[in-house]
Structure 1
Amino acid sequence: MFWLYNLFLLISIPFFPLLKFLTRKRGEVSLIRRFSSSFPGGRGKVLIHSSSVGEVNTIKPLVDKLRGEVAITTFTDYGLRRAGKLYPAVPKRLLPIDLYPVVLRFLKKVRPRKILIYETEIWPSLLKGATDLGIPVYFVSGKVGERTFRRLKRFNFLKGYFEKCYFLSRSSYDAERAKELGFKKVTVVGDLKLDYSPPREVPPLEIEGKRKVIIWGSTHPGEEEIAGELHFKLKKSFPNLLTVIAPRHVGRKFELPGKVLRRSESLRVPEGIDFYVVNTVGELSGLYYYADLCVIGGSFVPGIGGHNPVESVAFRKPTVMGEFSDDFKELALELNVPILRREELLQFLSSLLKNPELSSDLAGSSFKLWKEKRGVSDRILSLIGEEGEFKRD
């Protein structure tokens, strides 16, 4: 089955440029550079692999604490560019294409002393190559969502690799699923997203007038429509309302009623603007600073699983998520972030806008829980045997 997977991947290569959906869903995916084994400065490091922009942001506590002993691979070009901005001194490159000869050549040349895979990026040839060469593999803050679990259960050949890897789980729920998939070395460490630190400097934004600001972060198709409807319903009670929408994929087009301004057009929002669309990459986490309320996208339409609420919670902002937050329900519960149905949004957000004390209590409760549950990166480094000198702050 493993070699059949490699054969299928090899046959598929000529068709990769046609797979536009990859670009829309996960960012650009370069091909030619993935056959290279070159990795200047990467040899002998702890190699951390993450998928794209959000994941590159989340691994920051580990990168910072490993202090020069780390190299990074990403799946997308977007992720690689984000890593370049966040970690300019850290060696980084795209993950090689998951063909066994290509991956094996890369690993033999780079010789990472450990491989840390953030969450659940499953690449069979990478796992086989690492185990064949005796390189320890750790899934850190490992998660196994419902869709991932169903998909991986079909591939029994992966169990032979899973049982040699370490699964440092974000929750007991994910740990149980990892054991069902064949992982033998499973430990619950917590969600690495909890170790997030808000930016010391926030992106510039000037909002004219005294306005209430709702930020919809990481929205997906269908959620802009919800935000638009909600805006005008709330505007009846709060005429100075501004709705900021940051789509998960910045190039995606969508229509909004009312007056719209895009961030690429201006960093100043005049009075009379209904919607400010953040069509820039990597700024959302800092823009939460300007919010009165935060609504986390990917959670009001099925099939996405939600997105990370910690970035807004860390700015002490009242934060809510939708009923389809499957991938973040445990984290939301840990942080006392309300999970609401679409029809509950209007009344709940209206109550928060009308009652500053209620809004402050919700924000303060989530912020306090977040501060108490940090320290996941230290637990990970301790378990992989890298805490030593790198653990010092």
Structure 2
Amino acid sequence: MWDRLFPRLSISSSKPIIWFHCASVGEFNTAKPILSELKKDFFILLTYFSPRAKNFLQSQKDFYHALHPLPLDLPFSVESFLKRVNPFALMVMERELWYFMLKKTKAKKILLNTYAKGSLMERLLSKEFDLIICRTEKDKEIFHSFSAKAVACGNLKFVMEREDKDIELSMPEGKVIVAGSFHPSELGVLKGFYRELLKKVKGINLVVVPRHVSKVEVFMKELAEFKPCLKSSKVPDCRFVVVDTLGELFYLYKLSHISLVGGTFSKGVGGHNILEPVYHKKFVLFGEHAQKIKDLEEFVLSKGLGFKVKSVREAVDVAMKVINGEIVYPEFDLREYAKKIKECYMDWISKTLEV
């Protein structure tokens, strides 16, 4: 709290300083592709609002040069921070509209990946920005109605830049289902799905990735009827694998014929990233409880890249149609789509900063 009230940071850099603000971990992860590009030419001072984000952000030093909590939105605190930083530009993710931060900062200001709600705060503060980069044309039109300069480039959440690598699994011949980011509360749905699928298709392989690796023992116990193997055990020709290694889910989706994404099949979570299978041109199935990923859900459904299912029977029916080739993946490449989004953001940022 004292660092926020009385900022004491000291920065010295030969590069122009960009003050880049994210509320928490989610916004930071979305901003990574932009931060990677900006860090080549600028000194990045990253600020955050959520205290819970600190430990994670400290492990992400490849994306910034200095880290500091957001100063309290009081004239004294903001002015003290600005005197110590003297930023060349202020860049803000999504909807962090702090009154004194925006009013006191005289450098160029850019709002990134935002969406419009038509609120009074938007009307008051949107004109403080030299540029607002929105997710949709509708958002752009709303900001234009406030006399703000806005452009639409798309949703930065669609930009997932990962290294190319393959994960090896020793499984018998057959179709592969990957169930990623599942919680223990969703295992009833998963067991019902797999049981019904086995009645219809011989040789279905299932790879299950718990959301939290600490729950692996719970998964092994709950799924015992299917004789699961731990991935780390490297049992050859195992048809049902529970993954107990970290950082591999994104690449495991590449092996699937169809994927299920957890956090959506029971109440209380709200959904996980349903775009990761789509990145590999794989259909994604998810449940009804996707309130935290509404923007991703709307995109996936609108492009015909996945299915929202209300029951085990519906999930099995869809899976069978995909397995039998009755439903064919559309001619859509998320990588190319995401590449254009990032290029749009960087073009507008460069023009605004006059780089």
Gapped runs of 5+ residues in structure 2? none
Question: In structure 1, what is the equivalent of residue 41 of structure 2?
Answer: 68
Specify the alignment match of 2:242 in structure 1: 276
Alignment check: 8 A CA contact 1:215 1:243 kept:
yes
Residue matched to 2:277: 312
Does residue 1:95 correspond to 2:60, yes or no?
A: no
Partner of 1:227: 190
User: What is the CA distance between 1:348 and its match in structure 2?
Assistant: 0.6
> TM-score scaled by structure 1?
0.68
1:184 corresponds in structure 2 to: 148
Q: For each residue in 1:118-174, what CA deviation from the matched residue of structure 2 results, as whole angstroms up to 9, or x when unmatched?
A: 333x263xx522331213333312236xxxx5xx95xx5564334423431112344
Cα deviation, 1:207-250, whole Å, max 9, x if unaligned, reads 34335432333446744442333233323334542232242x66
Match of 2:345 among 380, 385, 392: 380
Normalising by structure 2, report the TM-score: 0.74
CA contact (8 A) 1:167 1:186 kept: yes
Matches within 5 A, 1:255-294: 255-256=218-219, 257-259=222-224, 266=232, 268=234, 271-272=237-238, 274-277=240-243, 280=246, 282-294=247-259
1:6-53 CA deviation, whole Å, 9 max, x = no partner?
xxxxxxx7xxxxxxxxxxxxxxxxx97997542656773233334555
Deviation at 1:80, TM superposition (A): 1.1
1:300-348 deviation line (CA, Å, top 9, x unaligned): 4567654444332222322234443522234214543223222221211
Establish whether residue 328 from structure 1 lines up as the match of residue 296 from structure 2.
Answer: yes
Question: Is 1:217 aligned to residue 198 of structure 2?
Answer: no
Q: Given residue 112 of structure 1, which amino acid in structure 2 is its aligned partner?
A: P
Amino acid at match of 1:342: K
Q: Secondary structure at the match of 2:343?
A: helix
1:142 equivalenced with 2:114 (yes/no) = yes
Q: Please list, as runs of the form range in 1=range in 2, the aligned pairs for 1:362-377 lying within 5 A after superposition.
A: 362=329, 365-367=331-333, 370-372=335-337, 374-377=339-342
Which ranges in structure 1 are unaligned for 5 or more consecutive residues?
A: 1-12, 14-30
2:207 maps to 1:207: no
User: What SS does structure 2 have at the residue aligned with 1:294?
Assistant: strand
Which secondary structure does the structure 2 equivalent of 1:68 belong to?
coil
Query: Following the alignment from structure 1 to structure 2, what is the Cα–Cα distance between the partners of residues 235 and 35?
Result: 62
Aligned length: 336
Q: Relative to structure 1, is the Cα distance of residues 174 and 157 closer, same or farther in structure 2, using a 3 angstrom cutoff?
A: closer
Judging changes above 3 Å, is the alpha-carbon distance between structure 1 residues 227 and 128 closer, same or farther for their aligned structure 2 residues?
farther
Name the larger-Rg structure. 2
User: Partner residue of 2:305?
Assistant: 337
Let me know the Cα RMSD of the aligned residues.
4.0
SS state of the match for residue 344, structure 2? helix
Q: Distance in 1 between matches of 2:343 and 2:41?
A: 16
Give how far 1:178 is off.
6.0
Match for residue 82 of structure 2? 107
